[in-house]
Structure 1
Amino acid sequence: MIVAQVHARHPRVALYYAPPASSAWWREGCEWLGRDPESGRESATSVHDVTHAPRRYGWHATLVAPFHMAPGVELADVLASARAWAGTVPRFEMALRAEALGRFAALRPAAAHDDATLRALAGDALIALAPLRKRPSHESIERRITEGMSGRQIELLREWGYPYVFDEYRFHMTLSDSLDDANQRESIVSDWTRRIDTLGPLPVHGAALFVEPEPGAPFMLWQRLPFNNVQDGA
């Protein structure tokens, strides 16, 4: 089913970090959100009422935000470029912490150096895929400017079609919808703080291409992209 869906006429493609399919991190996150974007399987969860938005996107952290392909570009072209980029990235593991990120609950790197590593990694991925991305129209970009954006974010939006790239990028794995209730956010943070203690470090062993076959449809994990597992000095 997933293979058929990704060959829709005008899909959007995104490059995301996703935990390894065999890991407890993948199973735990998919169960929390209520959907496995790789198999398409949905599951019952007690937090369905606060995970509508992240459930549609699937368990992930954004590296390159969803984009339409430039004229003449095919999914195979995106896959080839993304695979070439992933092959240059060394695998690592990192500690996470749960926190309130604005009105959302999310997972973030616990150490500043891991945050910086992922910021650089996402910037490199954006540059690698930039020639394949269709540039949004001037009108659509201007419509996305909001009052709360900084001057730098507006500059990045106009240049790259997305405001949270390069120095404005923050790696995060979203756990909830936007929540008005601070106590609800803190309850999720406390829950995931306990889960992190059990799950241990997050294995950053690869990325994945996700596809939105049509506007508003759930994103599907199409292709996993393993990182380089050769250690320095090996």
Structure 2
Amino acid sequence: MGAPIAAARYALYFAPAPETALWRFGSAAIGYDAATGADLPIPAVAGMSPERLLEITAEPRRYGFHATLKPPFRLADSTDVAGFLDAVARFAAERRPFELPDLRVAAIGDFLALMVAGRPQALHDLADACVESFDPWRAAMDAAEAARRGAAGLSERERDHLARWGYPYVFDRFRFHMTLSGRLGDPERSALADALSDRLAAIAAPVPVDAITVFVQPDPAARFRVLARFPFG
């Protein structure tokens, strides 16, 4: 693999291994398997049509099932994909696995996600290290991207993060979440949360954080796909 494709974006995510029940749960919930690139049937939810479920999962389907560690970015012109992947492999080899606290379906604003209780130090240390260690690989944002990411009402601290790191929700503003829906109001949000919680309870098990997964979006119109998964040492 040589020089980066100018339009492509890469991201460092936590994503369960594709053979796990949690990966199957999350991929089915959004109707897309980012490991295979296949569309999936979304399980039925009482009172919501299949068309509505497709509509409210359109945004998470674009990104695949994941939790963000280093938000999407284009590679700097002075770098190449092979070198980037080698760096991720070395970074992962220096990490040690740990387990997530119990996952739960919760609302973040108007959308639903899997979240954890509290602020687990190992999780935040990992996210912080990903943001800082791989920033030299990140191309500067263009004006359109900066405007889009800064369009929401950001605090001064979040604006500082955006200017320095290309994303407002890093370090002290980081919140682990695995998005399961787009924005929606009650009673739909409650109905979907109940259905997802029931499905999650059926597969409840410790969730290891034992790898970093690189996702790639080849061009702005494409969905993100799993490019490579790097186990921890």
Report the TM-score when normalising by structure 1: 0.87
Could you report, residue by residue, the CA deviation over 1:4-54 in whole angstroms, capped at 9, with x for unpaired residues? xxx755311011110012111111111121111111111222432210010
Q: Which of 11-20 and 91-100 deviates more?
A: 91-100
Q: CA RMSD in A?
A: 2.0
Structure 1 residues 140 and 56, CA, compared in 2 at 3 Å: closer, same or farther? closer
Give the Cα separation in 2 of the matches to 1:216 and 1:143: 16
Displacement after TM superposition at 1:202 (Å): 2.2
Structure 1 unmatched ranges of 5 or more = 229-234
Q: How does 1:1-234 map to 2 (within 5 A)?
A: 8-45=5-42, 46=50, 47-94=53-100, 95-110=102-117, 112-114=118-120, 116-137=121-142, 140-142=145-147, 144-146=149-151, 148-179=153-184, 181-200=185-204, 201-228=206-233
Contact 2:6-2:74 within 8 A present in 1 as well: no
Give the Cα separation in 2 of the matches to 1:29 and 1:147: 27
Give the Cα separation in 2 of the matches to 1:214 and 1:139: 15
Contact 2:67-2:176 within 8 A present in 1 as well: yes
Secondary structure in 2 matching 1:93:
strand
Residue 31 of structure 1 aligns to which amino acid in structure 2? A
Give the Cα separation in 2 of the matches to 1:135 and 1:84: 24
Structure 2 unmatched ranges of 5 or more = 43-49
Residue 26 of structure 2 aligns to which amino acid in structure 1? G
Report the TM-score when normalising by structure 2: 0.87
Residue 195 of structure 1 aligns to which amino acid in structure 2? R
Displacement after TM superposition at 1:139 (Å): 6.8
Secondary structure in 1 matching 2:228:
strand
What percent of counterpart residues are identical?
Answer: 36
Secondary structure in 2 matching 1:203:
strand
Structure 1 residues 71 and 176, CA, compared in 2 at 3 Å: closer, same or farther? same
Displacement after TM superposition at 1:93 (Å): 2.1
Contact 1:99-1:108 within 8 A present in 2 as well: yes
Structure 1 residues 143 and 42, CA, compared in 2 at 3 Å: closer, same or farther? closer
Secondary structure in 2 matching 1:209:
strand
Give the Cα separation in 1 of the matches to 2:125 and 2:18: 24
Residue 199 of structure 1 aligns to which amino acid in structure 2? I
